[in-house]
Amino acid sequence: MIRFEKFEKEDFSRLISWIPTEELMIQFSGPIFSFPITFEQLDKYVNCDTRLVYKVVNSTTNEVVGHAELNNIDKKNKSARICRILIGDNSNRNKGLGKAIINELVRIGFEEFELHRLDLAVFDFNHQGIRCYQACGFEIEGKLRETTRFGNEYWSIYNMSKLNDE
């Protein structure tokens, strides 16, 4: 259904076009970028030793359909964080791509890197994302209340994790 390829400079414009608002940028990336996302920010982002950044390609059509990342790869403690998951075009959503992306990141983390733990953060209002992560075996560990400010609102996040023996 999908395959991962390295996210490169030629992919920057596509990702930027998928994130037209500050609200969506924060939901996608948290505090790592400032709006609007620029080539300079993305160049710094991809050049990090503890981060693997992928474009997600539909294996049938060869269309780039999304973005995914394995971050904070800690070889000593055998852990990493799944983050910045995005299915770019609305027409590709609700087709099982999110679950396929998460399952592939889990496979990479546990099989290729032999990690013990993977975790992720998700805004508490992202019910579809939470259901997807739970379907992939992630459990809610706790809620971090009102961690992110957008406009006059504060957003809370759930931390979720999965261990390699689950």
2 confidence band (pLDDT: 50, 70, 90)? very high
Q: What is the pLDDT of residues 138-152, one digit of tens each?
A: 999 999 999 999 999
Considering its fold, how many domains does the chain have in total? Answer: 1
49 or 161, which is more confident: 161
SS (H, E, C) the chain: CEEEEECCHHHHHHHHHHCCCHHHHHHHHHHHCCCCCCHHHHHHHHCCCCCEEEEEEECCCCCEEEEEEEEEEECCCCEEEEEEEEECCHHHCCCCHHHHHHHHHHHHHHHHCCCCEEEEEEECCCHHHHHHHHHCCCEEEEEEEEEEEECCEEEEEEEEEEECCC
Average pLDDT over all residues of the chain = 96
Alpha-carbon torsion angle 79, 84, 89, 90, nearest 10: 90
- What is the CATH classification number for the domain harbouring 101? 3.40.630.30
Looking at residue 20, its pLDDT comes to: 96
Q: What is the pLDDT of residues 17-46, one digit of tens each?
A: 999 999 999 999 999 999 999 999 999 999
90 confidence band (pLDDT: 50, 70, 90)? confident
Looking at residue 141, its pLDDT comes to: 98
117 confidence band (pLDDT: 50, 70, 90)? very high
Q: Give the mean model confidence (pLDDT) for residues 85-103.
A: 94
Full domain range(s) for residue 73: 2-163
